[in-house]
Structures are given as structure tokens and as C-alpha cells.
Chains A and B, each alone.
Chain A
Amino acid sequence: MSAITVFVPKDSAARSVGADRVAIAIAHEATKYGIDLTLVRNGSRGALWLEPLVEVATDRGRTAYGPVRVEDVPSLFSADFHLGGKHPLSLGLTDEITWLARQDRVTFARVGIVDPLSLADYEAHGGLAGLRRALSMAREEIISEVIDSGLRGRGGAGFPAGIKWRTVLQTTGDHKYICCNADEGDSGTFADRMLIEGDPFTLLEGMTIAAIAVGAVEGVIYVRSEYPDAIETLRQAIDIAREQGWLGKSVLGSLHVFDIRIRVGAGSYVCGEETAMLESIEGKRGVVRSKPPLPAICGLFGQPTVINNVLTLASVPAILAGGAVAYQARGVGRSTGTQVFQLAGNIARGGIVETRFGVTLDTLINDFGAGALTRRPVRAVQIGGPLGAYFSTSLFDLSMDYESLLAAGGMLGHGGVVVFDESVDMAVQAKFAMEFCALESCGKCTPCRLGSTRGAETIEKIINGLDLEGNKKLLLDLCEVMTDGSLCAMGGLTPLPVRSAMLHFAEDFGSRTGAAR
């Protein structure tokens, strides 16, 4: 290995703004000047507004440059960036970039730092410590540790992970499964993708710990087809884990048998709902199942099944390695640990912000996000994906945790925060929520299948100014039927963005004659 190491992210967001071309240009210039350097394609640090973010390892730590375009590369070499030289794009030491330094990275601790497919790098940064400890513990002890940590499902529902695991442990089954839900379909969320692309072994380790805890023999990761890079990274990571004797007939030399395979989605949003996901893994139409029975008792192919989101499972190794107490000490109330927020949409400084629960919306959007990308005033924020509520700036002091958001009529969901500037028309957004539900409904229950289409039609009438009061009353009534009568969150939560838009942005649902909007 050469003395000089340069990092250029391989994360697909970084690639989407030219990271591959920058990497090629750096390699090319280095050859031209006869500079021997090792190019590492790391994950992204999560400061997506700085991508492509190029880093160089120096004696003082890694120093960063960004956003780097291909045409900047020759001047970077002229400035001896490979030795840490100053350049107009210099950002100083990566660890001292305020945006990153203010975060509390636990689940994302290694993302952007390690070479995603180097198991040696993974172990050098604390990887496998959680699994090794789990192998020395009794099953019930592992589950107690997860329960004590307070870890709740990061996919959206917020159900305590350890309780779910205990149910699977206590249910008899000859072929229990660990299913990882990587069908991250919510607009405004990308943390699952970034974790998989940047630190895939953490997810595999979390799944293996879960398997040991509940006695599962097989794991399935359901990844959406829109994430081709994540799928490829996972395939390679699984192959490496098998070769290294971590997955397979004997987990790290123990008596535990566990292997993981990947199933790729096919463009259906509702397959992110856990029972629709099971149907899809079984190769069928992604139609939601009725509950009960819970998947923990009768899940994939009728077997007891743990279903957790990527971030939930990826938080487990850190909990086992560092202990429940350290994790639990973060956060507020029943929202313990950290949350990986994703700043998205019309935002100047978007990306991954992992921090303790209890941070305010204002801190996220104005301090981290630096307001709207368009430099116009922020008007609305949607939290928790297409089924999450819209909030106005008057609620910016809201504490970001499960309970506070619920009390404010919203939900945390998967932690996505989508920002809109003043040009947004909230009636159009409400109509979109219904249209999206109509498009993606699995069709099993009537409130969702028909209600969504009728809802979109009714909002269209409101936009056109037809019988405003009558149609608004009708829409609220329809929202109530969908909330109470739908089988799953698709139809049940679609009213959340609609109602919150009507509540916080009533002016957009009024008479439009003469008004600008």
C-alpha cells in the first residue's frame, strides 16, 4: 500500500453528481505526475451537499475537499492536495466540519470512513465486536440487552425491537427467519441505502445477532430495485462474509447456522409494508395480509419471523458492543438512542444527520440544513415520508421524537424530512398524497383502494373552487373512513398528509379567485 490514500465516495448519491468521473480524473492525474496513491471508494459521509467530497489521509487526520468537479482535479494536484495542501475547495479536517462534528454517529459511525467491502477495515473500526459478545451470551440475555437499550423499530412504527424478538424466540418453528426490510420507498429517505452502500457488514452483523438471539437459520434482505448499487454491494458483502466463515454452517466457528440471501423488489411501494413484503418474498402479488397472526408468530412461509428495518438491525451491533446503558443514555423519554434524520427536498445542505432524539425541527432545517436551496423562505415540511404529516414553520420548535410528533398529529416514520419553499401549493400536495395511494394501493381493502381515488377527485374539486365547504367536509369524512377502515398504513395514514395540509395551510384550500396561488 502506498503512503498516500485518497477517498472518493462510491455512494450512489455521490456518483449521481460525478464521483466516478472525479475518481478517474484523480487516478489519471496521479499517473501523469508519477504520484503513487491508493484510491479508496468509501461510502458517503452524508454531507450530500458537499459531494463529491474527496478526502486525503494526513498525519492530522483526514482532510476534505468539496464539492469537487472533474475540472477541479488538476488544480487540486497543483495545490498538492494529496499531501493535504490548501485549495479553494479545502474544508479542513473532515472531523472538524461543523455539520459533521455536531452529530452523534452511532448507527452511521463507520459510514464514509471505512472501505465498505473491506472486512479488515470493518474489524479495525469495531466491527464484529457485538457479534462476538452475543456469541458468548444466552439467547434471553441478548434479547434483554436489546430491550434494555430501548431500541424501537426505525422503519416507522417504532415498535420495541427486543419485544418482537422475544415473541419469535418463544414461538416454536423449525426454520425461523430474520427478514430485513430494505424497501425504503418513502420519498425523502435514503439512510437505508447509504448504510448498505457505505457499511454493509453492519447490517449483516445485526441480522446475525438477531438470528442467534431467536434461533433463526435464514435471513432475507428485501431490497428495492431502485437501489442497484446497494444490491450489488450487499451481494459482494454476503459473499465475503461467507468466505470468511461468518455466514454459513458455523457462524464464526460456533454451532450457529445462519445464511442470508437477497430478494429484489419490483417497484411496488406497498411492499414496504411488512406483510406485503412477505408476500413479495414468497414470489406473490404484494398484497397486505390481515393481522393477526403477527409475522413474529406466522411470518415468511408460515414460520416465526423477525422483520426489522435496515437501521434497526444496523443499530444492534453497536448496542451489543457498547452495552444497552450507553445507547439508552441518548435520546429523550421513550425515544432512546439516536435517530438518523434525512434532510431532503428543497434544502441547501441536505444529507444524513444522526443525532440524539429531541433535536428540534428548527435545528435540523435551519442550523444543519441552512434553509431552502432556492434561498426562498421555507413554508412546509413533510416528516416521515408520503404518509407523514405536513408542518408549517410555526411548529419549528417541535422536539423530534416519537411521542412529540405523535402528539403534534404527525409521525416520525423513517426519519425523512422533506422541505418545501414558499412556492408550494399544499392543496396540490394533498391531492398527490391521495393519487400516490391510488397508484400504490394493493387493492385488498376498500377504503384504501376506492377512497384514495375519490379523495383525489374531491381535492381536485376543492382546487377548482367547487362547493368548497361541502367538499372539505366530505374530504374529512373520507379521511376518517380511510384512517379507521384500512387494513394497513397505506390507506390508514394517507389521510395524515391530507388532513395536516388542510389544518396548517387552510388558505390553500380556500377560494382561489383573485389570490396569487
Chain B
Amino acid sequence: MSRTKAYIVSADIITPYGHGVERCWSGLLSGKHALKKVERFDTRPFVSDQAGLIDGIEYGKEDSLVIQALKRLFEKPGHGIPRDARLIVASTKGEIDLLERAVAQGSDEFNQCTVASLLPKAQKLVGVSDSGYVISAACASASAALARAASTVTSGAADCVVVVACDSVSEFVYSGFSSLMALDRTLAKPFDKNRKGLTLGEAAGYALVMSDARARKEGRPIMGEIAGWGLTADANHITGPSRDGKPLALAIRKAMEMGGDGTTIGSICAHGTGTAFNDSMEIKAFTRALGQRTSPVYSLKGAMGHSMGAAGLVEALVALKSLEHGATPPNINLDTVDDEAKGWAFPEQRPFGGATSVLSTNSGFGGVNAALLLSQVT
């Protein structure tokens, strides 16, 4: 009897390029970034004033920023998420703008501002009966949640799981990354020799993960398979990644082993924050894991900014689009490829015909790493 497979059968995202995976993909192919000046709060004290922002979501509304974004995804009919789907919510800061508001008002009601407090709101919006749980693994939150969803499906614990991921650009987060001197003064330039840091961004999205049997029974369109995954930690530093890339390489190898012998990797959607240490660590990890079998590497963060806990979901969906088209999107803002990244990262779109799988990787504060192997389903 063959192993149960975990298919992504439905998904939607809101990014700084607009609503939908197609809009995000075409925005990336345009070669133009979707970053702009932040007007939500005063950025003058900070080292940057740029971010990837979703049009039309605003501070000061009754709903938090992420709920405004999620409502756009779920309040239109026809998203097709069955009521019996299990629910996983992935985020780093959830409704952090509500906490900002509470602090400003001198309120001590902070229990409604935690990541977990987002869960019942997400449950109601998605319309599932499961009360769900939260996964937070810093900037690898969404990819870790997709891994848990795939694990739940392949183990037979459930045949349908919806992963909802979201994070927003708030004064809280912006001031924090600025205090860490992690922001590029201009725009993030992942894998560039002259990269100076990241640019923050925001996104919200969901992916419906279903067993192959149920997907076929219900006649669902199949976007791709989560064929393997690996989760590891650097055990190195609270903000700095491993210097040798071994733990991320191990996560990649685990994901590839799960995918089975003969897996060929067409491309890698990297975490690619644009910080000196992250991008260097990732190239070292790819070299360790894949050896001389270089695959084109790209990052979305020069285009849309770093959407933290939502990044892994957006990136997995773009990785599947790249697999469908047999080509990577361009590395937006990449001008002079860093010496370490030569042969891996390219400014322009790169074709990779013939491959049936791609990788998507994320890493985050505390040294967390996640790798997803995404495969075509024929």
C-alpha cells in the first residue's frame, strides 16, 4: 500500500503586490519591487523608512492589521475550505498593533494581543469546526506549520489541514528590527555583495493541505505535493545564524530524504533576507546539502520585504509557481552577486527545465531552520 501524500489543493495570499498568487507571480516577473515609504507611523527615528505594505490595510481600525488582511481572503465566497479541516495558524506577532494600542491607552488588557488570541478569530473567518493551534517558529513559522500540516496528513491523523499565516508591519516590529541594526537603509538586496540588511514586509495567506485520496475523491485541482520537510536548530545565537550552514543543510537533507531517491531540485526559494550573515549561511548550507549540483537560488524579500511568520507560506506558493513555469522569478534588487553566491543566485529569471521538485527554506531568530521539498504531481 502506498504512503499517503500531502497535496496543496487550494491557496490564496495577499502580498504587497496585491491579492492572489497570480498577481504576486506576475509582479515578481515584472522585475519591479513592491516596497514603499511607510506612512503608518513616524519612521524618522529608524534607519529605514521602506517596507512592503499591503494596500488598504490601516492602523486605527477596529480590526488589527492581520485581521483586515485575512478578512479579504476569507470573506469572499468560494474559498472551498471544508468545515472539517484542521486549523493551524502561523505567525510571529499576530495582532501586535492591538498591544501597541493597549499600551498607548494605558490598558493592562494584553491577553487579547497574543499570537494565540488570533486563533478563534481565524477559526471564525475560515469557517472550520476545529479550534486549531498556533505554530510560531520565528521567521520559519509558516514553513514549520506547512510541515506539521503535511505530517498530520501523511500520518493519517487527519486528511485535511488548513494553514493560515500572517504578520504585519507595525511600529513595534519596525522599531525592534531598527534597534538590532538589521534594516537596510535603502532596500534589501539579497545575495548582493553590497547587501546591508533586510526590508520588512507583510503578508497573509492560507494553504489547504489534503491527502491524495481525499483530493482525488473530491476532484480537487492539485497545486503540488509537500513531499518532504526538515526542521532543525542552529543552537548558536539568539539573533545570528550558524556560521557554517550545517543545521540548515541537515534540514534540507531530511526533506530530500523524505522525498525519496532520485529527487532532482530545480530551484531553491531561499530565506534570503539580505543580511550579511543569513545569506552567507544559506549558500554554505546549499553547498553542503547539494554539493556541486547547483540549482538557481532566489529570494522574494528584495521584491516584497520580509513578511516574517507569513514568509514561508508565500514562498512555498511562489516556489510551486516556479515549478509550474520551469523558471525562477528574478532576484529583484540583486545587482552585484556576492562572491559566495556566484553560480547560485542570478539577477534575472532562470529556467530550470526537467526538474520535478523545488526547495523552499526559511531560518529565523533563535537559529530555527525549516526546509520544504515541493513536488509536481502528475
Are the chains A and B members of one assembly? no
